[in-house]
Structure 1
Amino acid sequence: MHLNPYGEYAVQLAVELANRPPETTLELVERCKAASIVIDFEVTDDDLAQTLEMLSEWRLIADNTDPETRAKHVNAMLEEASAYPRMTNHVGYGWHLHYRDDQQSLAGVLKALVSVGTALHLVGRGMHRLGRCALEECDNLYADISRNGRQRYCSPRCANRDAVRRHRAR
C-alpha cells in the first residue's frame, strides 16, 4: 500500500534537483527513475526546459520565509499543476492517489508531484521547514524532516564545518 508518494520524498526530490539541476534530458529521466518515478510516456527536451523553469518557481517557495508569501507561491504552483485527486493502480504497484491528470509530460508530472509534496510538507511539518543552508559559503536548499524542526544546514557536513569554525573562533 502506498500511503503518500507526494510528501517527504517529493520535497526531497525537489531539493535535490534544485541544488544540482539536471543538464540533459537523459540525466533528468535517470534521476527521476532513481527516485522511483514511473515514466510510462514519451519524454522530450521540452521536459528539461519546463522542469528547470518549475525549479525556479519552487526556489521562490523555499527562499521565502514569510508563511503568507510562501503559501501564495505554493498555491499558485498547485493551481497550475494539480488536478482533483484520483485513485490509480496504473502500473500495478498498488493503489495510490494522483494529484495530476493522466497522460502528462514528465515536467507536468514533476510540477504536480513537487507542488503537492511541498504543500503537504509545509502544512504537515510546519511552514518553516524549507530553507537555505546556514553555512555562509553554501547556497544549497534543504527540506527539514528532522524530529525537532530546527534544521539549519543542508547536510551534516555543513553543520560540522560551521561548528568547527565557531569552535576555532572561540
Structure 2
Amino acid sequence: MLNPYGEDAVNLAADLANRRPESADELADRCRAAGLVLELPVTADDLSRAGAALDAWEKVVDAAGEEERADLLNQMLAEAAAYPRLTSHPGTEGWHLHYRDAEQPLGRALFTLFAVGTAFHLAGRGMHRLRRCETAECDTAFADTSRTGRQRYCSHRCANRDAVRRHRARAASA
C-alpha cells in the first residue's frame, strides 16, 4: 500500500508530472498502480485538478532556492490544509493517517498528497532533494531518494549518457 506521506507520494508526483495522464481512466489506473486506494469514481474534473496540482508541484521543483521552495510548498500546504484523521479502507490491512478530508475527489486528494508528501520528503531528507535531471537534453523531475543525497540524474541511462559525453570530450581535447 502507498505510504502517502513521503517518498511514495513525491515519486508519484514526479511520475505524473513527467508523463502527464491524458484521460481520467489513465489517471485512475496509474494512481491504483502506485498503490492509491480510490474511494470515488475518477472524472474529467479530477484530471484537470490533478493537472493544476502538478503545475503547482513543478513550481516547487523549479524553485530557485530553499526559501522560495519552502514558500511555494507552504502555499500548497495552506490550500491542502485539513484535519489529520485515522482511517482504514475496505480490503486493506490496518489503520493509517490521512492528511485530507474524507471522500475527496481524486484531483483534490492528489493536491494534498503531493503537498504533504513533498513536505515530509524535503523536511526529512533535505530541501535540495527535489530537482530536474542534469543531462542537457532531459528535464525530468525527480525526488532524490539516494542514501547520500547527491543524485544528479533521473535515471542510470541519463547518468551513463552524461558520463560517455564527458569521456568523449576529454578524449577529443587530449
The TM-score normalised by the length of structure 2 is 0.93
Q: Give the C-alpha shift of residue 54 in structure 1.
A: 1.0
For residue 85 of structure 2, what is the aligned residue in structure 1? 86
The yes-or-no answer on 1:123 pairing with 2:126 is no
1:36-78: CA deviation from partner (whole Å, max 9, x where unpaired): 1111212211000111111011000001141111011111111
Contact 2:3 2:9 in 1 (8 A): no
For residue 73 of structure 1, what is the aligned residue in structure 2? 72
Q: What SS class does the counterpart of residue 72 from structure 2 fall into?
A: helix
Aligned runs of 1:98-137 on 2, under 5 Å?
A: 98-137=98-137
Contact 2:99 2:116 in 1 (8 A): yes
Contact 1:133 1:141 in 2 (8 A): yes
For residue 157 of structure 2, what is the aligned residue in structure 1? 157
C-alpha separation between the residues in 2 aligned to 1:154 and 1:20?
Answer: 13
Q: What SS class does the counterpart of residue 142 from structure 1 fall into?
A: strand
The structure whose Rg is larger is: 2
Contact 1:83 1:101 in 2 (8 A): yes
Which aligned runs of 4 or more in structure 1 are off by greater than 3 angstroms? none
C-alpha separation between the residues in 2 aligned to 1:97 and 1:60?
Answer: 27
C-alpha separation between the residues in 1 aligned to 2:22 and 2:129?
Answer: 28
Gaps of 5+ in 1: none
C-alpha separation between the residues in 2 aligned to 1:90 and 1:102?
Answer: 11
C-alpha separation between the residues in 2 aligned to 1:53 and 1:45?
Answer: 13
C-alpha separation between the residues in 2 aligned to 1:13 and 1:45?
Answer: 19
Contact 1:78 1:115 in 2 (8 A): yes
C-alpha separation between the residues in 2 aligned to 1:118 and 1:13?
Answer: 10
**Size of the alignment, in residue pairs?**
169
C-alpha separation between the residues in 2 aligned to 1:166 and 1:149?
Answer: 22
The TM-score normalised by the length of structure 1 is 0.95
C-alpha separation between the residues in 2 aligned to 1:3 and 1:105?
Answer: 17
Which AA in structure 1 matches 2:38? I
1:107-156: CA deviation from partner (whole Å, max 9, x where unpaired): 11111111100000000000000001000000101100000000111101
Q: Give the C-alpha shift of residue 83 in structure 1.
A: 0.9
For residue 45 of structure 1, what is the aligned residue in structure 2? 44
C-alpha separation between the residues in 2 aligned to 1:42 and 1:166?
Answer: 49
Q: Give the C-alpha shift of residue 158 in structure 1.
A: 0.2
Q: Give the C-alpha shift of residue 84 in structure 1.
A: 1.8
Q: Give the C-alpha shift of residue 82 in structure 1.
A: 3.1
Contact 1:82 1:116 in 2 (8 A): no
